[in-house]
A and B are shown apart, each in its own frame.
Chain A
Amino acid sequence: MVDFARVQKELQECSRDIERSGIKVIPKSEATLARLIGTIPGPVGTPYEGGTFQIDIALPDAYPFEPPKMQFTTKVWHPNISSQSGAICLDILKDQWSPALTLKTALLSVQALLSAPQPDDPQDAVVAQQYLKDYQTFVGTARYWTETFAKKSSLGIVEKVQKLVEMGFPEAQARSTLEAAGGDENLALEKLCSG
């Protein structure tokens, strides 16, 4: 049984200094506190700057004696985060968890991981290779992903792509054209029609 009293207090405390930390934790639904959504801002001075990243949190029954399960729902290009599933490779979420840590401190650690990738212990081998061999490209891709998936303005991009697909354009083409048009739906449509 999850210690909901503790979770409740954690949420209160977290919301208290949301201004300062920028870290937000809210219950996924009102039914239970075992499923939560965490939000962290991309660290300044990294390719993730300006992005807002959502993390799905599932609390095991033994929480806080066992670590919370965390996974990015926002797509991230990072050596220690799966570009496919959003799985996070971070020691404190595994064997280095301590019950003295909290959801907020864990999210802070995830945020710190964004600014300090560990390519030697990768979660996503492709990203890690790119990080090690072609750092500039890595930065470019990571920034592009941030722009595309983690910016508020990009939140509607899925719907826009969907719309274009419904108009009869192939999804991949619709997406790339939309990205090229900076998310401008009409411009993308024009391009698609003329192209």
Chain B
Amino acid sequence: MVSDSITRASVHAVPNNGGRDLGKKKRARSAKLKQCKLDVRREQWLSQGAMKNKEQNSVVKAGKERNNNRSFGNLEMRPRGGQIDGSIHHHHHHHDSDMESNSPNSLTSSVLESNYSETTFTSSSSSSSGGCCSGNITEDEEGGGDDGCLDDWEAVADALAADEKPKNTCPESPPEHEPIAQTVFPQETAIGSDQVEHLNPPYSRVIPKASGNGHAWRPDDAFRPQSLPNLANQLSLPNSNRKHYSCGGVPWAYNGVVPSSCPICYEDLDFTDTSFLPCLCGFRLCLFCHNRIMEEDGRCPGCRKPYEHEPVEAETSVHGGSLTFRLPRSCSMITRS
């Protein structure tokens, strides 16, 4: 259903793109309003948990506005109906799985969750706007004819979604949203124009933070946002990624971040490749190049030691699978505009 709807949506989108800009602007404004409400809601929920200053909040808000703005453009492309249920259901599932994960992983997953918070928020607004559209199934669903009614619906639906969310998460996790979200968003607001470029950097920002707590992503961690480099792949040049590798002494050991492209052939790494870790030194490459090397030299290009044993294939659990699958989808929805 998912891929189907996306394809349909994008096909749908092409001819309508031009006319929608106006609508987008309007929606941006309504998004702002909605965001206020959302923030107020969250404030209420979070006030028990942690103190926080206004500044932080406004930064987050500014960042989120951007996202909402974008997501709206995309959301209109979405077919309505079952899709909404699907995405909401996904959230529940996602939170459940987070809560299930127990102590050794808990920090990781809560950090992860905060990574996702961006996604979650946009998605929740997405589902709501989807919902409102299905409310007025008239033919101008795509056009600039969004009206106050629609905005109100969005606001209400969003407030509901905001209500729902904190209930679903553990009480400790909401405070964590703030600091991490803060590290994520300022960059977005600063860089501005190109959504593509900064999708990757914010995450790599987040990761050192996690490792600062002594909890780095394990290379084979199924919850690790392996999908992120993929994401950058789809949209950005490989060098944007590699550039900051070259700053570190040993590129491939750089905090375990998965490169977006194979360092040998410079082709983009797909999902199979990113979960492929043939050498303990952490040097990643695509399966094709690995095979090629195994035929001749047999040494890891990263450390020059011979590949000793069968490569370690990073495991993907059922939960991890659904997570990593889900994330790129929702993110690419955001970034497609």
Spell out A's residues near B (CB within 8 Å).
Answer: 3, 5-6, 9, 12-13, 16, 64-65, 96, 98-100
Contact = CB atoms under 8 A, between A and B. Distances in A.
B309 interface: no
A96 B304 contact: yes
15 contacts: A5-B266, A6-B264, A6-B265, A6-B266, A9-B238, A65-B292, A65-B293, A98-B302, A99-B289, A99-B301, A100-B263, A100-B264, A100-B283, A100-B301, A100-B302
B239 interface: yes
A65 B266 CA distance: 13
A98 B242 CA distance: 18
Given A64-B265, A65-B293, A100-B264, 11 more contacts: A5-B265, A5-B266, A5-B267, A6-B264, A6-B265, A65-B292, A65-B297, A99-B301, A100-B263, A100-B283, A100-B301
Nearest to A12: B239
B55 interface: no
Nearest to A6: B266
A99 B266 CA distance: 11
A188 B158 CA distance: 87
B215 to A, nearest CB: 29
B266 A9 contact: yes
Q: What are the nearest 7 A-B pairs in CB distance? A: A100-B301, A98-B301, A99-B301, A99-B264, A6-B266, A9-B266, A100-B263
A65 B239 CA distance: 21
Contacts, number: 34
A3 B265 contact: yes
B194 interface: no
B4 interface: no
A98 B266 contact: no
**Among A3, A64, A99, which residue has the most Cβ atoms of chain B within 10 A?**
A99
A13 B237 CA distance: 11
Nearest to B295: A65
**Among A6, A9, A12, A100, which residue has the most Cβ atoms of chain B within 10 A?**
A100
Contacts of B292: 65
**Among B242, B266, B304, which residue has the most Cβ atoms of chain A within 10 A?**
B266
Main secondary structure of the interface of B (DSSP, over half): loop
Interface string B234-273: 0000110010000000000000000000011111000000
B296 interface: yes
A176 to B, nearest CB: 46
A12 B302 CA distance: 23
A6 B289 CA distance: 12
B288 to A, nearest CB: 11
B296 A65 contact: yes
A116 to B, nearest CB: 18
B291 to A, nearest CB: 11
A6 B264 CA distance: 8
Nearest to A5: B266
A134 B8 CA distance: 78
B269 to A, nearest CB: 14
Interface string B280-305: 00010000010011001101011010
Contacts of A12: 239
A123 B297 CA distance: 26
**Among A9, A13, A96, A98, which residue has the most Cβ atoms of chain B within 10 A?**
A98
Contact of A13 (B239, B283, B302): B239
A3 B286 CA distance: 15
Contacts of B289: 99
B130 to A, nearest CB: 40
Contacts of A98: 299, 301-302, 304
B305 to A, nearest CB: 11
A49 B275 CA distance: 46
A33 to B, nearest CB: 14
Contacts of B301: 98-100
Contacts of B263: 100
Contacts of B266: 5-6, 9
A13 B261 CA distance: 14
Contacts of B265: 3, 5-6, 64
Nearest to B261: A9
Nearest to B251: A100
Contacts of A5: 265-267
B19 to A, nearest CB: 37
A182 B299 CA distance: 51
Nearest to B299: A98
A5 B288 CA distance: 15
Nearest to B262: A6
B11 to A, nearest CB: 30
A118 B238 CA distance: 37
Contacts of A100: 263-264, 283, 301-302
